[in-house]
Chains A and B, each alone.
Chain A
Amino acid sequence: MVKVKVIERPVPTVSTEIYLKEVLKGMGVSAKHFFQGITTQKNLVTTQYPEEKRPYPKRFRGHHRLMKREDGSARCVACYMCATACPSHCITIEAGEREEPYIQKYPRKFEIDYLKCVFCGFCVDACPQDAIRMDSDKHRIPAYTRQDEMAGNIDLLKLGGLSQARQGGKWS
């Protein structure tokens, strides 16, 4: 049996039909808010934006950042998983070869096109190396040219930090 929630409709009474009393009641509510508003600033819902900023929620997905190894190079191993997961195909990776025998690749170019990115966070979930994150607490700031909307690996590394996660791989 499907349960149906029955909602009682308010029955019109003489006083609601005359309308005048309800009008006065409504105006009373407005007047209450008016006097509250001019005497106290307590109930304000406005954030005075440029001066006053709302704190971001803990899991806010902001500007991407590339995490670093101890020596300052990118943790990213250019596996293309993020680029594959990305629904808007906005990550461009060009792999370069590394000297160390046990890590083969590094991203010579790692570029995110912020005109396409939808900030879904799939890239972060896809990454096996904890190399890309979106917890920088920063907005992507709009730019004047299309070229400026591309964030390269240098910008992304600048925001990055050390990761506590153990890097995977056979010899690590």
Chain B
Amino acid sequence: MNWNIVLAATIKWVFMVLVFGLGVAGILTWVERKMSAVIQDRVGPNRASILGFRMLGLFHPLADAIKAFTKEDFVPDGANRVLFFLAPLIALVPGMLAFAVLPFGPGDNLVIANMDSGIIALLAITSFGIYGATLGGWSSNNAFAMLGSLRAAAQMISYEVSMGLNLVGMFMVFGTLSFSQIVYAQGHLLGGWLPEWGIVVQPLAFILFMAAALAENKRAPFDLPEGESEIIGYNVEYSSMRFATFFLSEFFEVVLIAAIVTVLFLGGWQIPWLDPKGIAGGWIRVLQVGAFVVKTLFVIWVMMLARWTLPRFRYDQVMKLGWKIILPLSLLNILVTAIVLAML
């Protein structure tokens, strides 16, 4: 085994997943509260302070972490202990793995595993996320948690299908399954001026993918598995750090989905009209990584906006939307794409 490769991958993993992914996910717990407050004309959390500094409430995630660590770790009677303990981890880890195939910048150095079949790998890995929610609800021996996990399973499997189908259109257009290649291809200019971003060539797929992705990571308006007001959700029996892990995995998935949307539809690290081949190193490369980060944060912002705008769907509406609207439209999208590609 070549240890240099392992070492390099580890370093990249630490920076991309732990520093960027988990860092942003941690801050998102604050952003979620603050943004909801600002949208609703409130002030939001601002009380946690260190030595009198409040920093707009930025210390709240820290306070939450301390609280989560010091609380009682409760296991309900009759719970399946092994699965109960594993479920939060199963929810968190696939997201972390999936980051491996996303390119943060041009070249081989800014992606952990530059796989040729990146999209397939990503879809395969993220599907594992279902197990976290499902097993968590099932193992905690609680009817409400069970309901939540059943909803989670049904919903995530339904939307998985359309998520995958929307990507089919993408790799028909770009002719590759590798994320890096797709980002390079998006630097190509249409008609000499319009960057060939995914959102330009596949606008319908973009909208459908966003909807499916929101449903996939179980956030409003698709937060049925959690449904705070009716069933409290698959994580109702979880407390302390285990609950926090579930929570963190949800935010981590937000970051992940935003990164995927950025890479596939918003040109990844591409800055329009600037070095589309990614050969200029130096400051331009830093800028390109910065562009990726900024785009990801923007997508997260849009997702948060949707979350605080739209009310929750009814369960049958979610299923109807998934199977009767998004799925046929995705198939239609593939058909139209195929016809257009054949005619060109």
A20 within 8 A of B: yes
**Interface size band for B:** 10 to 19
Q: A20-B207, A37-B38 are in contact. Are A30 and B43 (CB under 8 A)?
A: no
Q: Using a CB-CB cutoff of 8 Å, which residues 26-56 of chain A contact chain B?
A: 26-27, 29-31, 33-34, 37-38, 43-46, 48
Q: Using a CB-CB cutoff of 8 Å, which residues 1-57 of chain B contact chain A?
A: 35, 37-43
Chain A residues with CB under 8 Å of B305's CB are 27, 30-31, 34
**CA of A48 to CA of B207, assembled, Å:** 40
B310 within 8 A of A: yes
**CA of A45 to CA of B42, assembled, Å:** 6
Nearest opposing residue in chain B for A26, CB measure:
B309
**CA of A29 to CA of B310, assembled, Å:** 11
Contact with A along B306-324 (1 / 0, CB 8 A): 1011100000000000000
Query: How close is B55's CB to chain A, nearest CB, in angstroms?
Result: 15
Q: How many residues of A contact B (CB 8 A)?
A: 16
Q: Out of A26, A34, A48, which one reaches B43, CB within 8 Å? A: A48
Chain B residues with CB under 8 Å of A38's CB are 38
Q: A23-B306, A27-B306 are in contact. Are A34 and B35 (CB under 8 A)?
A: yes
A43 touches B41 (CB 8 A): yes
Nearest opposing residue in chain A for B44, CB measure:
A46
Chain A residues with CB under 8 Å of B37's CB are 37
Query: How close is A38's CB to chain B, nearest CB, in angstroms?
Result: 6
B309 touches A30 (CB 8 A): yes
**CA of A142 to CA of B274, assembled, Å:** 67
Nearest opposing residue in chain A for B311, CB measure:
A26
Q: A33-B38, A34-B35, A37-B38 are in contact. Are A46 and B309 (CB under 8 A)?
A: no
Query: How close is A25's CB to chain B, nearest CB, in angstroms?
Result: 9
Q: Out of B38, B302, B309, which one reaches A29, CB within 8 Å? A: B309
**CA of A23 to CA of B310, assembled, Å:** 7
Q: A23-B310, A27-B305, A29-B309 are in contact. Are A34 and B39 (CB under 8 A)?
A: yes
Query: How close is A101's CB to chain B, nearest CB, in angstroms?
Result: 62
Query: How close is A99's CB to chain B, nearest CB, in angstroms?
Result: 57
Nearest opposing residue in chain B for A20, CB measure:
B207
B41 touches A44 (CB 8 A): yes
**CA of A44 to CA of B207, assembled, Å:** 33
Q: A20-B207, A34-B35, A38-B38 are in contact. Are A46 and B306 (CB under 8 A)?
A: no
A33 touches B306 (CB 8 A): no
Chain A residues with CB under 8 Å of B40's CB are 33
Query: How close is A17's CB to chain B, nearest CB, in angstroms?
Result: 11
Q: Out of B39, B43, B302, which one reaches A44, CB within 8 Å? A: B43
Chain A residues with CB under 8 Å of B42's CB are 44-46
- Taking each of A34, A38, A45, which has the highest tally of chain B beta carbons within 10 Å of its own beta carbon? A34
A34 touches B38 (CB 8 A): yes
B207 touches A30 (CB 8 A): no
Query: How close is A94's CB to chain B, nearest CB, in angstroms?
Result: 47
**CA of A40 to CA of B24, assembled, Å:** 26
B35 touches A33 (CB 8 A): no
A37 touches B309 (CB 8 A): no
Q: Using a CB-CB cutoff of 8 Å, which residues 258-305 of chain B contact chain A?
A: 302, 305
A33 touches B41 (CB 8 A): yes
Query: How close is B46's CB to chain A, nearest CB, in angstroms?
Result: 8
Query: How close is B49's CB to chain A, nearest CB, in angstroms?
Result: 13
Chain B residues with CB under 8 Å of A26's CB are 309-310
Chain B residues with CB under 8 Å of A44's CB are 41-43
B41 touches A45 (CB 8 A): yes
Query: How close is B16's CB to chain A, nearest CB, in angstroms?
Result: 29
**CA of A43 to CA of B35, assembled, Å:** 15
Query: How close is A113's CB to chain B, nearest CB, in angstroms?
Result: 35
Nearest opposing residue in chain B for A38, CB measure:
B38
**CA of A18 to CA of B144, assembled, Å:** 33
Query: How close is B272's CB to chain A, nearest CB, in angstroms?
Result: 23
Query: How close is B18's CB to chain A, nearest CB, in angstroms?
Result: 29
**CA of A129 to CA of B37, assembled, Å:** 51
Listed A/B pairs (20) with beta-carbon separation below 8 Å? A20-B207, A23-B306, A26-B309, A27-B302, A27-B309, A29-B309, A30-B39, A30-B305, A30-B308, A31-B305, A33-B41, A34-B38, A34-B39, A34-B305, A37-B38, A37-B39, A37-B41, A43-B41, A44-B41, A45-B42
Nearest 7 interchain pairs by C-beta: A37-B38, A46-B43, A30-B309, A26-B309, A43-B41, A33-B39, A30-B39
B interface residues (Cβ-Cβ under 8 A, vs A) = 35, 37-43, 207, 302, 305-306, 308-310
Given contacts A33-B38, A46-B42, 18 further A-B contacts (CB under 8 A): A23-B306, A23-B309, A27-B302, A27-B305, A27-B309, A29-B309, A30-B39, A30-B305, A30-B309, A31-B305, A34-B38, A37-B37, A37-B39, A38-B38, A43-B41, A44-B41, A44-B42, A48-B43
